[in-house]
Amino acid sequence: MRVAVLATGGKDSTLALYKVVKAGYNVECLVSMVPLREDSWMFHYPNMHLMDLFAEAVGLPLVKGETSGAKEAEVEDLKRIVAKLDVEGLVCGAIASTYQKTRIEQICRQLNITCMMPLWHQDPQKILKEILDLNFEVIITGVYAYGFSKDWLGRKIDAETVEALANLNRRFGVSMVGEGGEYETLVLDAPFFIKKLRIIEAETVWKGQSGHLLIKKAVLEDKPK
pTM of the model: 0.94
- How high is the pLDDT of residue 70? 63
Q: Nearest Cα to 29, choosing from 79, 116, 93, 91?
A: 91
pLDDT tens digit sequence for 198-207: 999 999 999 9
User: Which architecture characterizes domain 2-116 according to CATH?
Assistant: 3-Layer(aba) Sandwich (3.40)
- Whether the CB-CB separation of 211 and 142 falls below 8 Å is answered with yes
The pLDDT score that the predictor gives to residue 39 is 58
Q: Is the pLDDT of residue 162 over 60?
A: yes
- Radius of gyration from C-alpha coordinates of the chain: 17
- CATH class belonging to 124-222: alpha beta
> Structural domain boundaries of the chain?
2-116, 124-222
Quote the pLDDT of residue 128.
Answer: 97
- Measure the CA–CA gap between 194 and 178, rounded to whole angstroms: 27
DSSP labels for 37-58?
STT-SSS--TTGGGHHHHHHHH
CA distance 190 to 16: 12
Least confident piece of the model among 36-50, 70-84, 113-127, 185-199:
36-50
Alpha-carbon distance of 100 to 178, in angstroms, equals 14
- Evaluate the CA torsion angle 164, 158, 61, 50 in order and state its sign: positive
User: Which amino acid belongs to residue 107?
Assistant: I
pLDDT of residue 41: 52
- Rounded distance, CA 13 to CA 16, Å? 5
pLDDT digits (tens, 9 = 90+) for 71-107: 678 889 899 999 999 999 999 999 998 988 999 999 9
Q: What is the pLDDT, as a whole number, of residue 42?
A: 58
Edge-to-edge strands of the sheet including 183-189?
183-189, 137-143, 210-222, 195-207
Handedness of CA 147, 151, 154, 160 (dihedral sign): negative
The predicted structure's pLDDT at residue 135: 97
